[in-house]
């Protein structure tokens, strides 16, 4: 046994995933990102993509959304914490900020003695374009 230092190593693959996420705008599934990396000529295994994304998510560097569809979607974490308004039909996503919600969640959690609080909030609806008029 040694000093249990969580040594995270800097590898080409990790950089590639980070770089890709850095220039991506919307949400993408792990498999999506993997396909894009291959197109770019980066040789990265699917397993590694999953693991890297998990690591980044753990580190709080990216957002994870779990839509009803079943696929996890990842996205580079934007500065301010925000939530998403997703169209059920076309998948269009609008970012919305909710300072009120943030503080409310924290307050409620604190009232019950909970610490290390995080939350997930997604709003689903039908956008104007997809609405049968």
Partner DNA sequence: GCGTTTTTGACAATCATTGTCGTTGTCGCG
Partner DNA sequence: CGCGACAACGACAATGATTGTCAAAAACGC
Q: How far apart are CA 107 and CA 101, in angstroms?
A: 10
Residue 12 touching DNA (CB under 7 A):
yes
Residue 121: CB atoms within 10 A of its CB come to: 13
Specify the residue, 45 or 99, whose C-beta has the smaller distance to DNA: 45
Tokens 């994870």, located at residue: 64
Choose the binding region for DNA from 44-52, 81-89, 99-107, 110-118 (rule: CB under 7 A): 44-52
98 binds, among DNA, a second copy, none (CB under 5 to 8 A by kind): a second copy
Q: How far apart are CA 133 and CA 122, in angstroms?
A: 25
Residue 13 touching DNA (CB under 7 A):
yes
Please list, in sequence order, all residues whose beta carbon lies within 8 angstroms of the beta carbon of residue 36, skipping any fewer than 6 positions away.
20, 28
Residue 60 touching a second copy (CB under 8 A):
no
Residue 91 touching a second copy (CB under 8 A):
no
Q: How far apart are CA 80 and CA 95, in angstroms?
A: 11
Q: How far is the CB of 106 from DNA (least distance, A)?
A: 27
The pair of structure tokens assigned to 41 is 């000529």
Residue 91's H or E segment, with its range, is none
The response to whether 119 counts as a known ligand-binding position is yes
Q: What residues are designated binding site for Fe cation?
A: 81, 102, 119
Name the residues that contact a second copy, by CB under 8 A. Answer: 66, 68, 85, 87-88, 94, 96, 98, 100-101, 104-105, 108-109, 112-128, 131
């Amino acid at each position: 046994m040694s000093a249990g230092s969580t040594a995270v190593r800097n590898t080409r693959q990790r950089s590639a995933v980070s770089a890709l996420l850095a220039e991506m705008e919307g949400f993408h599934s792990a498999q999506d990102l993997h396909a894009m990396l291959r197109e770019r000529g980066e040789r990265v295994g699917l397993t590694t993509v999953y693991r890297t994304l998990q690591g980044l998510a753990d580190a709080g560097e990216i957002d994870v959304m779990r839509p009803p569809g079943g696929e996890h979607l990842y996205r580079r974490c934007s500065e301010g914490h925000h939530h998403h308004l997703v169209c059920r039909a076309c998948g269009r996503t609008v970012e919305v900020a909710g300072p009120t919600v943030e503080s409310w969640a924290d307050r409620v959690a604190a009232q019950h003695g909970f610490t290390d609080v995080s939350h997930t909030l997604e709003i689903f609806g039908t956008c104007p374009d997809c609405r049968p008029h």
